[in-house]
């Protein structure tokens, strides 16, 4: 799904950016250019960023990691 139409940035690209260490909207803006044109994508990009960070947080918890490995 395309999140930022102006810069053609997909949800997948945002998730990959989080994998590389991006953790805030300013970092995401600098890394991918999300929201640097019309700004209408800001809310959606923020949601994808938050969800990606939550997923990474869950994956790093030992109990969760054991559950998904089983």
If you search the block for the tokens 């805030």, which residue do you land on? 24
Q: Least Å distance between CB 60 and ligand FES?
A: 29
Residue among 16 and 42 whose Cβ is closer to ligand FES: 42
CA distance 20 to 16: 6
Q: Least Å distance between CB 29 and ligand FES?
A: 9
CA distance 70 to 33: 38
Residue 13 CA, distance from chain mean position: 7
Query: Hey, which residues between 14 and 53 contact ligand FES (CB under 6 A)?
Result: 35-41
6 lies in the site for ligand FES, by CB under 6 A: yes
């Amino acid at each position: 799904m395309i999140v930022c139409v102006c810069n053609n940035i997909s949800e997948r690209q945002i998730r990959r950016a989080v994998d590389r260490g991006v953790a805030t909207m300013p970092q995401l803006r600098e890394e991918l250019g999300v929201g640097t044109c019309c700004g209408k994508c800001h809310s959606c990009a923020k949601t994808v960023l938050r969800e990606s960070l939550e997923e990474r947080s869950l994956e790093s918890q030992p109990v969760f990691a054991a559950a998904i490995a089983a």
